[in-house]
Amino acid sequence: MDYLELDDAATQAFEELGGDFDLPHILSKPFESTNTSESTNTSESTNTSTTSPPKRPRRRVEASYLFRLEHPLSTTRDVANALGLSRVPQLESGTGEDGEASFCRLSQSRVKALDAWVEKHCPKQRFTKIRIGLAHKDSGVLPLLGRDGTLPHHRPSLAAEPTEQPLHEFPVHYFFYGTLADPARLERLFDVPASDLSALQPAVLMDGRVRTWAGKYRALIDDPGAMMDGFAYACASVDQEDALRVYEGDAYEVVAARLIVNGTEIVGRTFRFAGCEEELS
């Protein structure tokens, strides 16, 4: 099954799905210079830690794809049957000049399994697949920044930690430490007027610090005991969170984080670098 350039209908439909998302950014390869977030020209971190955190290997994060539905895989049920899934994949659709284009969202492993099915059942058929550079988010409990190490003394006392809110409960405070701390950028990203956005609030992030990735991108890493200044934004919905995840790209992952906002310690979220220390300067 080949990767194809998108035709006009697919491109326009995808733009409807993604709103103002930058298409070349979304179609990017992993861990390359496609992530425009968190550039190095903003607030500096204050590192109060005297010990280095344990090195964390690159996380095995599966990419996500939009798979265009066409005969003989014309519906999400067809895709589910081909893959032997008990549930149908998520359906996405939009309308272009040539009519409606429908997609389903699949993980990288399921796309590979579908490749094998196509090779066996319709080897001459060509399908359109669109890679989405999406920051990873665990479906269960999120890892906690700076307290996710394997050593016992890096494991928190759960009774002493503020309570994290459920994954699907909004609003939730996100900590921004770079280019996302800009109301004009958030206005474009969420496609809403600035008057409808929550105000950015000065905040302190605990147990993390920023290094530089690929020579120019800000990369947040674990650093127990460190503190850094930035801003907290009350993310209003899963749609806003998904927009942030696309903006950050798949070199990052969503983690829980201890924040101080208006003098109160809370557990919010932020984006941690998903690579390894050797990639950073």
Q: Give the type of residue at 151.
A: L
CB of 215 within 8 A of CB of 281?
yes
Query: Is CATH 3.10.490.10 the right assignment for the domain spanning 37-60+138-279?
Result: yes
What is the pLDDT, as a whole number, of residue 100? 81
Separation CA 125–CA 128 (nearest Å)? 10
Q: Which residues contact 42 (CB under 8 A, 6 or more apart)?
A: 177, 178, 179, 181, 218
Separation CA 64–CA 72 (nearest Å)? 22
What is the pLDDT, as a whole number, of residue 53? 53
**Per-residue DSSP letters for 61-76?**
---EEEEE-BTTB-SH
Tokens of 258: 């201890």
Mean pLDDT by 10 residues, the chain (281 residues): 45 47 40 39 45 54 84 96 94 74 91 96 92 83 77 41 70 94 94 92 97 91 96 95 92 94 96 88 88
Other beta carbons within 10 angstroms of residue 53's beta carbon come to 21
Strands 201-213 and 217-235: antiparallel
What is the pLDDT, as a whole number, of residue 156? 42
What is the pLDDT, as a whole number, of residue 161? 52
What is the pLDDT, as a whole number, of residue 214? 87
CB of 68 within 8 A of CB of 128?
yes
What is the pLDDT, as a whole number, of residue 137? 87
Per-domain residue ranges of the chain: 1-30+64-132, 37-60+138-279
What is the pLDDT, as a whole number, of residue 46? 46
Tell me the CA end-to-end span of the chain in Å, nearest whole number.
Answer: 39
Of 18, 13, 128, the C-alpha closest to 73 is 128
What is the pLDDT, as a whole number, of residue 14? 47
